[in-house]
Chain A
Amino acid sequence: MSALTWLALAGAVAVALLVAEEAHRRAAASAAGRRFLRHPTATPGVFILAFFVTLATAAPLLAPYDPAFQIDIVHLQNHAPSAQNILGTDVYSRDVWSRLVYGARISLGIGTIAMLVAVTAGAGVGAVAGYVRRWVGAVLMRGVDVGLAMPRMFVLLMAVALWEHLPLAVLVLLIGLTGWFATSRLVRAEVLSLREREFVAAARAAGAGPTRVIFRHVLPNAAAPIIVSAALGIGNVMLLEAGLSYLGLGVPSPLPSWGSMIYDGEPFMAGAPWTSLFPGCAIALVVMALNAVGDGLRDALDPRKETA
């Protein structure tokens, strides 16, 4: 690795530290923020997330090689970590570090986008099911029960089996559209209690229609559980994607995702553990960080703890 790459890596660490520091400073200023900070793992979690997000954003600066570039397919197969390839190379002589950095884009991106799809669908269905009485809500929630009863992995495997080459966008959409059921239940429960609050009655008395009531009065007050479930959900989606890729059914080769990297390295675990070990560590770190931040946010945003 060149000096420039090392410099960029140091820069990424510095950026992550700055972000964590700034988040800490801002959180300490409010009561909710202090509840967040009481979680011992919340601040390290923010740092880890900031670090990997920086990696993903600045991937071209940080990766010495193209992630798909086979450096020397004859002499550099499964080469141990060295000064040239700090995390070693895989069986196709590709630089593991470069793939890890670009893989952050894919893995974090899939996690985030799929979660956005899931949260939007879950919040929408939950809000309608909670706000509209009568059969509409009941029918929607029975549908959700069915969705929750289906094992997500099997639904995805079925889709993969039906489609020969699943485009990445479709995969992300599928992961999102199979992941909103729990969120919709959460949002519906919140909406059921919010709709009875007097400020909702006041808005209706002022002439606000259902759309305005839901978007201006109900959903903003249900934001806390939605945010928490989103933070926890991203980690879940990343694990799911890793699982699919590990079965060889997720992100199509040669695109690097952390799951597909583990899959690529798995046959050589005994001789070249670095090919699977490092992406595995990256997944574990990010998922743990997301859970830590999600737990912290839950404590911080839980309205039951909000002092009036």
Chain B
Amino acid sequence: MTPGARLVQVDGLVKHFPGARALLGLGRARRPVRAVDGVSFAIESGQTLGLVGESGCGKSTVGRSILRLIEPDAGRVTLDGVEVLALGPRELRALRRRMQIVFQDPYGSLNPRMTVYQTLAEPLAIHRLAAGPEVERRVRSLLEEVGLDPAFARAYPHELSGGQRQRVGIARALSVEPQFLVLDEPVSALDVSVQAQVLNLLAELQRKRRLTYLFIAHDLAVVKHIADHVAVMYLGKIVERASAAALYGAPRHPYTTSLLSAVPVPDPTAQRQRIVLQGDVPSPAAPPPGCPFHPRCPHPKKNDRCRTEPPALREVAPGQLAACHFAEEPM
């Protein structure tokens, strides 16, 4: 594949979780939760898209829908030209070799009853990638690649630290030699010192294996050093999408601006203005009319239009999209 070509493309992805019904499906169904509401983006081969948003904004649902761990309700997903959402079980299984996922919780993402060896050997067995002594060789080299001693193969997850478990999770994702990895908050559960190590490992693996990443995170700081492009999500929608340089340098959406103001700066003398958002994220089952961000928006020009007319995601600068009526006059 030529570099720069779009490996992953997502168009109009929608996932609504149905509201719970009363006993036996009688009674009125509650309103569905619109976890993902028309999300589109593309990732070029070998690049990283950072997908950022508060918890509950639907960013994990996007990642899992692309891998069909959750079945989305509408939209298109293509991986290297293959229509992911149209595949039958057999073709989907074959495609799973090419796309993998690393989870947030290093405690929950490893089967506590399986040794590291069993965990890493399972994908090899499913896809018949290795047999006999070859399995052991592959497991050993995977462990070395993620910076673990091959002796860990015999260990159970509870014998490992959080960082070690996360490395095993990464090794498992790499075992089938995928092109595309969804990293679902891969460092959020780790100590800060370990976070840096795992981020460096991910960056190194991307270089060596020419991997394409969808990096999901809940703050912009983590993504800054690894992402080429960043998309910011709020209540199931992308509110701003741009190259990392543009987004960090000149954010156009007030939500991005407030998120950036929350990123700590390692300079105690720096003077800066913090924007503290008022209130909580509204329920995605009952999003506010108009711009979903308007109840919390700190933009000084906020007016009635924001309360009634939902802003479209539009290009406000070359390669920079924002969904705000006042994107031309950023805060």
Where the two chains meet, the residues of A that have a C-beta atom closer than 8 Å to any C-beta of B are 197-199, 201-209, 212, 216-217, 220-221, 223, 308
Contact = CB atoms under 8 A, between A and B. Distances in A.
B158 A207 contact: no
Contacts of A198: 103-105, 108-109
Contact of B111 (A203, A209, A308): A203
A205 B100 contact: yes
Contacts of B172: 202, 206
Contacts of B113: 220-221, 223
Nearest to B89: A209
Interface stretch (B31-39, B119-127, B248-256, B292-300): B119-127
Interface of B: 64, 67, 69, 89, 93, 96-97, 100-101, 103-105, 107-114, 122-123, 126-127, 158, 169, 172, 175-176
Given A199-B110, A216-B122, A308-B158, A204 B127 contact: no
Closest 6 A-B residue pairs measured CB to CB? A198-B109, A206-B123, A207-B96, A198-B108, A199-B111, A198-B103
Nearest to B70: A201
Contacts of B89: 209
B125 to A, nearest CB: 9
Nearest to B113: A220
A212 B111 CA distance: 13
A203 B100 CA distance: 10
Given A221-B113, A308-B158, A205 B122 contact: no
B97 A201 contact: no
Contacts of A205: 67, 69, 96, 100-101
A216 B112 CA distance: 11
Nearest to A201: B69
B170 to A, nearest CB: 11
B127 A207 contact: yes
B97 A207 contact: yes
Contacts of B111: 199, 203, 216-217, 220-221
A9 to B, nearest CB: 41
A217 B123 CA distance: 13
B122 A197 contact: no
A199 B109 contact: yes
Nearest to B122: A206
A201 B93 contact: no
25 contacts: A197-B108, A198-B104, A198-B109, A199-B108, A199-B112, A201-B69, A202-B103, A202-B110, A202-B169, A202-B172, A203-B111, A203-B122, A204-B69, A205-B67, A205-B100, A206-B123, A206-B172, A206-B175, A207-B96, A207-B127, A209-B93, A220-B111, A220-B113, A221-B111, A221-B113
Contacts of B67: 205
Given A199-B108, A201-B64, A208 B103 contact: no
Nearest to A206: B123
B20 to A, nearest CB: 13
Nearest to B100: A205
B95 to A, nearest CB: 9
B84 to A, nearest CB: 13
Contact of A208 (B100, B126, B175): B126
A192 to B, nearest CB: 15
Nearest to A218: B111
Given A197-B108, A221-B111, A207 B103 contact: no
Contacts of B112: 199, 221
A306 to B, nearest CB: 8
